[in-house]
Amino acid sequence: MSVFNSVNNHCLGKILELTETNDVVASDDIYDTQGVKLWAKGGKISASLQERLASRKLRTPLELTLEVENGITTGDVADDCQKVILSNPVMCHLANNKAALAALSHLRMVRLPSALKLLLAAAYENRRTHEYLHELHTIALCAGFAAYARLSAMDTELLLSAALLHDLGVLYVNPELLEPSRRLTAREWASVAVHPRVSHMVALEIGKLRDEVGMGIGQHHERLDGSGYPFMLTKEKISPIGSILAAADAMAAIIERGGEGAAYQATLAIKLIPEEFNPVLKAYICTSLRDLVSAASCGDQPCYEQTRDVVEKLDQVEQKVAELLQGAAGKVHELLAMAGNICHNVRKALRATGVDFLLQSYAPGGEGAFCGEVYHIVHEAGWRLRNISRTLQLRADALALDEQAMLAPLIAILESPPAA
Ligand SMILES: [Fe+2]
Ligand SMILES: [Fe+2]
């Protein structure tokens, strides 16, 4: 029996939302595990399904017994990707060429089983959401990369299938937790951070897709240096599709926001910590966006205080990690080593870009030097520190209480607000 034999209410909610625009029908009789028939084959799905299913376990996962009529197709997605490529100047530099558009056409050839068509429609039938925009940017970036790296037709199709389905696990997350303005507690973050794992399970158990596609999907938030989630995998354990998708997903998140500085920010984010991302994708981004990146696109946000706060926090975290490592063993040692490694990479980036030096040589009245490129470097560095805290909290649940207590002061430093 799989986890999908229990109905996920958030996913069911999205399917019921879909019935407002499309017919969703039972492709088979729906039974619970006691043999009680809950819905007849051919019956249109309506809100009353939710009551009938209440806390029952099903003989067959719900996703496999429903189908959507006239839902969004891979052809629709490919058309919308083309529109994104042509309308966003950054995407235009990345993918408006014959080879990339030909690579994108492989998406039209992807044949999805009806359960995945249903989930795709539940996630993206409403095409005015930022989730759909993110989806399009991720796929378009993968198509551009496939052309740049001259991937074979088969590899291109597998990569684009993974890009298409990578965030379906989000359907199973409480939508309230996805509000961009919401600051998540550790427990809430854990239920969001599990979505790549859920997407992986959907691909394998519901979609019956090839394992390399499922694995790549499950790794789309991992980082080659082990600083990603949910499993903190390092490069030896991350598949080729996983490493490409992870970098494309991160770049998509920057580029989809648009704005003049997006090309600069994407280029900076992908190369700031050289150990994080797939090097071929890094070359693709940096080479393709070369002409768009100029000093002017850095903006001029002042950031002396943020710089000082981030560097002070980095100092404190490094010190605390070194102190805790002395008495640590097993899983806690592994987590602290990961935190120390990220700090080391952030420190290296601050040195390589001159930010460390700028702060050390600061003299009163010199705040004017803290703007432009420095702002973006410090912003990226701050994100890496925040991610250490998220990862530690994500893993803390699996630790013994005394091990959790050992990590608590480190998490407290990472979560502390900047000095007034
Ligand atoms: Fe994701
Ligand atoms: Fe994503």
> Could you say which DSSP state residue 274 is in?
T
Listed residues 68, 93, 114: the one ending a domain: 68
Structure tokens at 69: 């009529």
Question: Does one domain contain both 136 and 277?
Answer: yes
Phi, psi of 407 (to 5 degrees): -80, -20
- Domain assignment present for 132: yes
- Tokens 């959790």 -> residue: 404
Question: What does the pLDDT read at residue 420?
Answer: 55
Listed residues 39, 68, 97: the one ending a domain: 68
C-alpha 330 to ligand 2 mean position (Å): 32
Nearest bound ligand to CA 192?
A: 1
CA distance 305 to 377: 14
C-alpha 323 to ligand 1 mean position (Å): 34
- Domain assignment present for 420: no
Per the structure, the count of domains in the chain is 3
C-alpha 251 to ligand 2 mean position (Å): 10
Nearest bound ligand to CA 139?
A: 2
Question: What does the pLDDT read at residue 259?
Answer: 74
Question: Does one domain contain both 278 and 321?
Answer: no
Question: What does the pLDDT read at residue 296?
Answer: 61
Question: What does the pLDDT read at residue 299?
Answer: 73
Question: What does the pLDDT read at residue 419?
Answer: 66
Based on the number of CB atoms within 10 Å of its own CB, is 47 exposed (0-12), middle (13-18) or buried (19 or more)?
A: exposed
Nearest bound ligand to CA 219?
A: 1
Listed residues 43, 68, 93: the one ending a domain: 68
- Least Cα distance to 410 among 395, 303, 420 occurs for 395
- Terminal alpha carbon distance of the chain: 54
Q: Are 307 and 359 in contact (CB under 8 A)?
A: yes
For the chain, list residues with pLDDT below 50: none
Q: Are 255 and 91 in contact (CB under 8 A)?
A: yes
- Domain assignment present for 394: yes
To the nearest 10 degrees (0 to 180), the angle between helices 114-124 and 130-148 is: 120
C-alpha 401 to ligand 1 mean position (Å): 30
Structure tokens at 374: 């420095």
pLDDT tens digits along 366-382:
888 888 889 999 999 99
- Domain assignment present for 225: yes
pLDDT tens digits along 257-291:
887 789 999 999 999 999 999 999 999 999 999 98
Question: What does the pLDDT read at residue 294?
Answer: 72
Question: Does one domain contain both 226 and 119?
Answer: yes
Which string of DSSP letters, residue by residue, matches 303-347?
A: -HHHHHHHHHHHHHHHHHHHHHHTT--HHHHHHHHHHHHHHHHHH
Looking at residue 40, its amino acid is A
Question: What does the pLDDT read at residue 13?
Answer: 95
Question: Does one domain contain both 173 and 56?
Answer: no
Based on the number of CB atoms within 10 Å of its own CB, is 182 exposed (0-12), middle (13-18) or buried (19 or more)?
A: exposed
- Domain assignment present for 386: yes
C-alpha 141 to ligand 1 mean position (Å): 15
Question: Does one domain contain both 204 and 320?
Answer: no
Structure tokens at 350: 């601050």
Helix (H, G, I), strand (E, B), or coil: what is residue 39? strand
Phi, psi of 107 (to 5 degrees): -60, -35
Task: Name residues whose C-beta falls within 8 Å of residue 406's C-beta, 6 or more positions apart in sequence.
Answer: 324, 327, 328, 332
Label the pairing between strands 37-39 and 66-68. Answer: unpaired
Question: Does one domain contain both 290 and 337?
Answer: no
Which string of DSSP letters, residue by residue, matches 175-227?
A: GGGG-TTPPPPHHHHHHHHTHHHHHHHIIIIIT---HHHHHHHHTTT--TBS-
Nearest bound ligand to CA 170?
A: 1
- Tokens 């490409």 -> residue: 244
Question: Does one domain contain both 289 and 341?
Answer: no
Domain of 193, in residue numbers: 74-295
- Domain assignment present for 187: yes
CA distance 379 to 64: 44
Structure tokens at 63: 């996703």
C-alpha 347 to ligand 1 mean position (Å): 27
Question: Does one domain contain both 53 and 184?
Answer: no
Looking at residue 274, its amino acid is P
- Domain assignment present for 308: yes
Question: What does the pLDDT read at residue 324?
Answer: 97
Question: Does one domain contain both 200 and 253?
Answer: yes
Question: Does one domain contain both 23 and 145?
Answer: no
C-alpha 406 to ligand 2 mean position (Å): 33
Nearest bound ligand to CA 164?
A: 2
- Domain assignment present for 26: yes
C-alpha 253 to ligand 1 mean position (Å): 10
CATH number of the domain to which 223 belongs: 1.10.3210.10
> Could you say which DSSP state residue 364 is in?
T
Angle at 117 between CA 189 and CA 241, to 5 degrees: 60
Question: Does one domain contain both 288 and 322?
Answer: no
C-alpha 372 to ligand 1 mean position (Å): 29
Nearest bound ligand to CA 137?
A: 2
Nearest bound ligand to CA 131?
A: 2
C-alpha 30 to ligand 1 mean position (Å): 31
- Least Cα distance to 219 among 191, 236, 238 occurs for 238
Question: Does one domain contain both 373 and 250?
Answer: no
The three-state DSSP-derived secondary structure of 368-418 is HHCCCHHHHHHHHHHHHHHHHHHHHHHHHCCCCHHHHHHHHHHHHHHHCCC
